[in-house]
């Protein structure tokens, strides 16, 4: 059974300073609401007779990846964590992505503010608490949105057991169907290795 959760905030294609500042409360609220939403979903799943509660897996994909460590820390019923094309140090991730399109001053403003407001869900604060449950990280070698240093810093901070998979690609996108299939194959192989799904 697969249950998909979504943020209750739709990012704009681009931002002015005024739009960024006006959207901060809604964006922060949506992010902070995700971990409780995950817990409620686990409550619901745990009451379904068709669900094997010893094989509950949380998968965070791209913008959803940062929610995985905090959700694992808050809910011990989740048996395995998968972060797909995510990394740690949200302030530097925000700066990296804003700087691709905006000037340095605006990028610093956005990243400092974003890092401060999103500190409650910063993956680096929680990733070591996933253990003794397993963390799987799947990332792209040419990811233009998640620098390798952010991936490696997060993976290094995590305790064993942990597994890392690199795919030769840029960042994920719904239009990249071949990459999506590659990710699914890699994920299935890892989950089968851990006896979460059948070969």
Question: What total of structural domains would you count in the chain?
Answer: 1
Alpha-carbon distance of 9 to 87, in angstroms, equals 21
Strand partners of residue 134: 80
On whether residue 6 sits in a domain, the answer given is no
> Torsions phi, psi of 157, nearest 5?
-75, -25
* Domain that includes residue 103, residue range: 17-193
The sign one gets for the Cα dihedral 1, 73, 60, 31 is positive
pTM value is: 0.90
Query: For tokens 């797909």, what's the residue?
Result: 84
On whether residue 163 sits in a domain, the answer given is yes
In Å, how far are 84, 104, 181 from 61, measured between CA atoms?
Answer: 5, 28, 14
Q: Give the domain CATH number at 33.
A: 3.40.50.1820
100-156 pLDDT, tens per residue? Answer: 888 999 889 889 988 998 899 999 999 999 999 999 999 999 999 999 999 999 999
DSSP 82-98: EEES--S-HHHHHHHHH
Residue 154 has what pLDDT?
Answer: 98
On whether residue 31 sits in a domain, the answer given is yes
Tell me the three state secondary structure of residue 171: coil
On whether residue 199 sits in a domain, the answer given is no
On whether residue 54 sits in a domain, the answer given is yes
Tell me the pLDDT band of 187, cut-offs 50, 70 and 90: very high
42-82 pLDDT, tens per residue? Answer: 999 999 999 999 999 999 998 889 999 999 999 999 999 99
On whether residue 198 sits in a domain, the answer given is no
Burial class (CB in 10 A: 0-12, 13-18, 19+), 12: exposed
On whether residue 171 sits in a domain, the answer given is yes
Question: How many Cβ atoms sit within 10 Å of the Cβ of residue 108?
Answer: 16
Question: How many Cβ atoms sit within 10 Å of the Cβ of residue 151?
Answer: 23
Q: What sections of the chain are H helices per DSSP? A: 17-46, 67-74, 90-99, 104-117, 123-126, 148-157, 177-193
């Amino acid at each position: 059974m697969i249950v998909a959760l979504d943020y209750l905030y739709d990012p704009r294609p681009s931002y002015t300073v005024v739009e960024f500042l006006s959207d901060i409360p809604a964006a922060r609220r949506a992010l902070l609401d995700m971990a409780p939403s995950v817990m409620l979903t686990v409550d619901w799943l745990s009451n379904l007779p068709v669900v094997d509660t010893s094989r509950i897996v949380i998968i965070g994909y791209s913008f959803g990846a940062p929610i995985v460590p905090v959700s694992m820390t808050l809910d011990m019923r989740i048996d395995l964590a998968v972060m797909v094309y995510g990394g740690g140090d949200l302030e530097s991730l925000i700066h990296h992505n804003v700087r691709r399109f905006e000037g340095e001053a605006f990028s610093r403003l956005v990243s400092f503010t974003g890092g401060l407001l999103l500190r409650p869900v910063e993956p680096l604060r929680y990733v070591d608490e996933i253990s003794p449950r397993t963390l799987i990280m799947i990332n792209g070698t040419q990811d233009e949105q998640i620098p390798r240093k952010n991936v490696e810093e997060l993976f290094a901070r995590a305790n064993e057991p942990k597994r890392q998979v690199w795919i030769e690609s840029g960042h994920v996108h719904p239009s990249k169907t071949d990459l999506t299939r590659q990710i699914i194959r890699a994920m299935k192989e890892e989950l089968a290795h851990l006896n979460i799904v059948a070969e």
